[in-house]
Amino acid sequence: MTAYQTILPNQVTTWFRAGRTDQFPVGAGATIKYGQRQIAVFYFNRTQRWYACQNLCPHKLENVLGRGLIGEQDGVPKVACPLHKRTFSLETGENLNGDCPPVAVFPVRIEGGDVYVGFID
Amino acid sequence: MQQIVVIGNGMVGHKFCDLFARHPRRHAFQLTVFGEEQRPAYDRVHLSAYFTDRDADKLSLATREWYAENQIELRTGELVTELDTANRQLGTHLGYEMHYDYLVLATGSVPFVPPIPGKEKSGVFVYRTIEDLDAILDYAAKLRELPGARSVVMGGGLLGLEAAKATLDMGLPTDVVEFAPRLMPRQLDEGGAATLTSTLEGLGLGVHLSKSTSAVGGNGCITHLDFSDGSQLEADLLIISAGIRPRDELARKAGIEVGPRGGILADEYMRTSAPDVFVIGEAALYREMIYGLVAPGYDMARVSLSTIMADADGGCMPESIDLSTKLKLIGTDVASFGECFPEPGTARSIVYHDEAAGIYKRINVSPDGSRLLGGILVGDAADYNMLHQIYKNAMALPPQPEDLILGTRGSGGDAGAGIMDLPDAAVICSCENVTKGTLCGHLSAEQAHSVKDLVACTKAGTGCGGCKPILSDLVENYLKSQGRVVRNTLCEHFAYTRQELRDLIVLKQLRTYDEALDELGHGHGCETCKPALAGIFATVYAETANPQAAIQDTNDRFLANIQRNGTYSVVPRVPAGEITPDKLIAIGAVAKKYGLYTKITGGQRIDLFGARLDQLPPIWEELIAAGFESGHAYGKSLRTVKSCVGSTWCRYGMDESVTFAIEIEERYKGLRSPHKLKGGVSGCIRECAEARGKDFGLIAVEEGYNVYVCGNGGARPKHAELLAGPVDRQTAVRYLDRFLMFYLRTAGPLVRTAKWLEGLEGGIAYLRSVVVDDVLGINEELETEMQGLVNGYRCEWKEAVNDPALRARFRPFVNTDEAEELEFVALREQKMPKPW
């Protein structure tokens, strides 16, 4: 869990190229590997926004969030863990329907048809 | 300021504090509480929940912070040993002394341990505190290394059976020994106890009645019990649950009057013989009885507090205390209320007994049939809340009182009273003493709109929780009575019910989720509406889970069942459970090649666990090559049609149930529905396929098949009800087509057939009038629609492995070909995920 820290856009020192935009599903998530860490990347086609968070669900510590359904709650983009349906804000990482610890979220940038995720190391 | 002292921090002692904290005149008093145990008050009613997770916090009723915030002094781990009622002084084992103006004895009880030789041996326990449970758990953990270790519970009462369930859950074969000739002798009559006994025996519990234990045998550790009839029983762990004894030693020493067999004497205000000393809970002897239930204890806390506070509307204890109880024992419900065993001639009893189903219901009504006096329910206590209310409020009975337990037969309509017929004074939550009038008051003042609101406003439902179903009935009926439609809209993105959405999607010919959201909804969707709409597209257009994978629930998106460590399990379809040796070998070969854990499912198929996401397509390529298709075990869809072997082999069979089950499973395979669907076909009334535990079941009889619908197993088991029969096979299939399509059209999301039927006004009689008599004139339409879905079937795994674009989703990482790193540990020659 300590391996994942939320990164704000102004803190980014490394923009890591995660793949071409067309390698990611539309309206759902997929997973990338950054070193030993697993990052879930989501494309919200209806708002044309991209989000990223740790793939590890803090509830039972399984690497599954990238396979969860995405959606919106009162305007906040969220992902639902496929194991027990805990939902997490993709803006702040907080658990929206329980008292799980938050997930780390990462900035995403699209440039020239490529998807970049921001890190500080 | 006057000083109140409460001795005892159990459930009832805490209830007193809780009521005190909320009392308007509390500031005229200082409250100090002594607790003998180290931790603050916890819930003993649900004590056995501790066995599942060993989490004491979940049982906690209040924290130290709560006491501090409410300015109540809590002194735990401190036993009051001296009491001087003349000078109003008390002293503790730590030498602390204090004065009181009012004293409340809430000292509770201890388990009674009969004076049996050998009871001090190790491995002998009682069942009352968290520490007792810890000791049992630790001991049981050691026993697990001892092959053939067994546990025995002495006492077949309520608590004893709870303890038995706990040791069964720990994996120890368990016996219950009862002195009386039947289980739960205080709550059940012979018929009820016999029914309970055979249900428990069916679950693997040994039951030994009329047994008097003469010695606990063993050398240091317990190894067996000796009975006075000369017989013996092996036992490596013994839990004694032989009743309770009130803790009256402090009162006795102080000269307060106690009963001849123990218990501190109390009057109707819970006053003892000493001035301004009260007694509440299990230590109190009121009307020559000790009350081991929490509701009367809470009542005593209320009465004693309002006497101390001199409340104008205080009241006193009722003359007769309601000892009604309902509890979930090992896999079965048991309830009793009012007069369970009336004297001959004072009542007439109506008994319903279904031996095979393990159901026993008895109600006692007054000789003129006008009033309900009491009753016993075993195996099915769904009627308990209503019966209990009718009894407590002395409500008028229907002309045929037997309808109360049998339901009205023939013409539709519900028997007896509905929740709205109850008087306002009816106590709905007896733990918190909340009446229907109070609840309705909150609803009509718009302070509450849901069960959750009512719980927050009134604390109803926070005690034993038994009144929760009645609370939800109340909310629904109240809103209905106000002319407000109770709309089960899907979520914040669609203000329609599933049925309305389905109709609109058909009408507007919408084909995708985004189209539907643009046309009918707002916002951007969520994990509730996406799979619900995916299900609608499947039932309207026979769409598989492939074209719109992004809106499918995870299991449907990856066409497999996600398991604990993020791996998947694979279940190929084995129609009706019939499988050739070659196909068995093919499954075995795949499991071996990919290192999968294999297990036979309850639906007569084989489940292969532990497949990584990227392994799913190659596994399925091999399974498809061997002639298998998707089993849809991952979907809200038809799972299996279970069969018994039928007349092809069985000497009792009336028809070829396997052949018919295959035909039905092949017909409905791939059918998606509001919830999972299971079927069964039995070749005779012995019902080996358990068809009545399914959403639809067919049972062969001499003249054809009886068609049953809307049953299920699981958490709320229900037997399917007879829809029609006997009919020939072709007619049975037509009825099933209509029934299933009607369900697919009208049920809410994630509503199984049994619950859907509960919500259909008119129940099974109405359903029969639609499916058999066609009162709505839609049967032709239903059959055509179903035929369309049957014709539209495709194996979605074949689609997925053959299309590279669809197959791309099984790649674990977008940016690398590395495989996922997953950890497994060995388990009985196979493997399992590394524990959390």
B369 touches chain A (CB under 8 A): no
**In this complex, do B815 and A27 lie within 8 Å of one another by their Cβ atoms?**
no
How many pairs of residues across A and B have Cβ atoms under 8 Å apart?
Answer: 93
In a domain, A4, yes or no: no
CB contact at 8 A, B555 and B562: yes
pLDDT score, position B410: 45
Give me the amino acid identity at B771. V
Report whether B650 belongs to an annotated binding site: yes
Domain ranges of chain B: 2-111+246-308, 124-242, 498-558, 559-634+809-836, 653-802
B812 touches chain A (CB under 8 A): yes
CA separation, residue B510 to residues B122, B548, B727, B791 (Å): 71, 13, 39, 21
Q: Do domains B124-242 and B653-802 have the same CATH topology?
A: no
CB contact at 8 A, B325 and B378: no
DSSP string, B344-365: TTS-EEEEEEETTTTEEEEEEE
Distance (Å, whole) CA B428 – CA B388: 10
Report whether B17 belongs to an annotated binding site: no
A33 touches chain B (CB under 8 A): yes
Low-confidence ranges of chain A (pLDDT < 70): 1-2
Give me the amino acid identity at B71. Q
Distance (Å, whole) CA B552 – CA B177: 52
β-pairing verdict for B348-354 and B29-35: unpaired
- Nearest CA to A26 out of B672, B617, B524 is that of B524
β-pairing verdict for B830-833 and B174-177: unpaired
Q: B127-147 burial by CB neighbour count: b if 16+ within 10 A, else e?
A: bbbbebbeebeebbeebeeee
Fold of B653-802: Sulfite Reductase Hemoprotein; domain 1 (3.30.413)
> B2-111+246-308 falls under which CATH superfamily?
FAD/NAD(P)-binding domain (3.50.50.60)
A84 touches chain B (CB under 8 A): no
Distance (Å, whole) CA B325 – CA B274: 33
**In this complex, do A74 and B530 lie within 8 Å of one another by their Cβ atoms?**
no
B814 touches chain A (CB under 8 A): yes
**Residue B340 pLDDT level (bands cut at 50, 70, 90):** confident
Judged against a pLDDT cut of 70, whether residue B639 lies above it is answered with yes
pLDDT score, position B662: 97
**In this complex, do A73 and B564 lie within 8 Å of one another by their Cβ atoms?**
no
Considering the segment(s) B559-634+809-836 as one domain, its CATH architecture is Alpha-Beta Complex (3.90)
Distance (Å, whole) CA A107 – CA A118: 5
Cross-chain CB nearest to A68 (options B493, B554, B613): B554
Q: Which CATH number fits the domain that encloses residue A19?
A: 2.102.10.10
In a domain, A95, yes or no: yes
- Nearest CA to B393 out of B363, B430, B424, B365 is that of B424
How near does any CA of chain B get to the CA of A22, in Å?
11
Cross-chain CB nearest to A61 (options B550, B815, B836): B836
Chain-wide mean pLDDT for chain B? 90
In a domain, A2, yes or no: no
**Residue B471 pLDDT level (bands cut at 50, 70, 90):** confident
Cross-chain CB nearest to B523 (options A28, A72, A87): A72
pLDDT score, position B483: 66
How near does any CA of chain B get to the CA of A10, in Å?
25
What digits encode the pLDDT tens for the residues B393-436?
A: 888 787 778 878 876 554 434 444 567 777 888 888 877 788 88
Report whether B644 belongs to an annotated binding site: yes
**Residue B484 pLDDT level (bands cut at 50, 70, 90):** low
The reply to whether CATH 3.40.50.12280 applies to domain B124-242 is: no
In a domain, A77, yes or no: yes
CB contact at 8 A, B522 and B493: yes
β-pairing verdict for B2-7 and B102-105: parallel
- Nearest CA to B554 out of B524, B521, B530, B523 is that of B530
pLDDT score, position B408: 52
User: Which residue range forms the structural domain that includes residue A68?
Assistant: 9-119
**In this complex, do A73 and B492 lie within 8 Å of one another by their Cβ atoms?**
yes
**In this complex, do A32 and B525 lie within 8 Å of one another by their Cβ atoms?**
no
CB contact at 8 A, B326 and B384: yes
Instruction: Give pTM, 2 decimals.
Output: 0.55
**In this complex, do B549 and A28 lie within 8 Å of one another by their Cβ atoms?**
yes
**In this complex, do A18 and B814 lie within 8 Å of one another by their Cβ atoms?**
yes
Q: How many domains does chain A have?
A: 1
**In this complex, do A87 and B514 lie within 8 Å of one another by their Cβ atoms?**
no
Give me the amino acid identity at B175. D
B809 touches chain A (CB under 8 A): yes
**In this complex, do A26 and B809 lie within 8 Å of one another by their Cβ atoms?**
no
Which pair of tokens denotes residue A52? 């990223």
In a domain, A3, yes or no: no
